Amino acid sequence: MANKILLLSLFLSVVTPALFGQVNKPAWTNASMREAAFPSGTFFTGYTQGNVRSGETVEAAKQRLLRDAQGLLAESIRMTVKTQTAMQTVSTRTNQSERIDAVVDASVETAANAEIAGMNSEQPYHDTETGIIHTFAYVNRFELSGYHKANLSMNLTQAEGLLQTAQELEDAGEKSRARQQCEAAIPLLVRVRQSQDLLTAIDSNISSEALQL
C-alpha cells in the first residue's frame, strides 16, 4: 500500500504541473538552442520577448510580440540585401531611333515589402513565473529562394514579351504604342530587380545564371 501511495505521488508530481501549472519552457526561448535548431545559414529568424502592457490582455500581448518577431525577421532579410544604387535606369532603344528611359525604383527599401513566403512561427510562450512572453518566427532560406526564383522567371518572361512587342511596333513606325509597351514593362522590371536582390541576400554565392542576368 505504501509503495502504491509513493508511485501515485510521483505520478502527480509529474502530471499535475503539465495539466494545471507551468508548461515546460520551449527550447527556442534559449538563444543557443535557437541557433542550434535554426542555424543562420539555413534560416532567417526573428525573436522577441516582452511583458503585457497596462490594459492589455495576455492574448493581445502575444499577438503584438509575434508581429514584432515577424518584423525582426523581415528586417534581417532587408539588412542582408546589399545596399546598391537606389535608382537605376532601364533604357529601351528601338531601331536606334528612339530611346525610352524609365527610372526604376529598385532600392533596398522595396525589398522590405516583399512577400516572405513560407514564414512560420512558434506558439507564443507566456512564462507565468516571470510574466515574460516569448515569440519566435522563422523562414527557411531555400523555400524562400524557390519562391523568388519562380517570381523572377515569371516577371522576366512577361517583361521580355512586352519589350519584344515594343520592338515590333517601333519597327512598324508605331512609336506611341511602342512607348506604352515599354512603360507597361517597368513594374515587371522592378519586381525582377527586387527578386534578384532578395535572392542575393538569401544566397551570397548564387550564380548569375540563377539570377538570369
As a whole number of angstroms, the distance between CA 23 and CA 21 comes to 6
Grid coordinates of 143 = 523555400
User: CA 194, 200, 202, 207 torsion: positive or negative?
Assistant: positive
Give how far Cα 92 sits from Cα of 17, 42, 56, 183, 213, Å: 69, 39, 55, 10, 16
Grid coordinates of 59 = 492574448
| HEC string for 84-99 | CCCEEEEEEEECCCEE
Query: Residue 43 corresponds to which amino acid?
Result: F
**CATH class of the domain at 32-211:** alpha beta
pLDDT tens for 48-95 read 999 999 999 999 999 999 999 999 998 888 777 654 333 344 444 444
Domain ranges (residues) in the chain: 32-211
**DSSP assignment string, 48-81:** EEE-PPTT--HHHHHHHHHHHHHHHHHHHHHHHS
pLDDT tens for 91-130 read 444 443 344 334 444 443 444 445 677 889 999 999 999 9
pLDDT tens for 146-159 read 888 998 999 999 98
Show Cβ contacts of residue 10 under 8 Å, excluding neighbours closer than 6 positions.
Answer: none
Prediction pTM value: 0.67
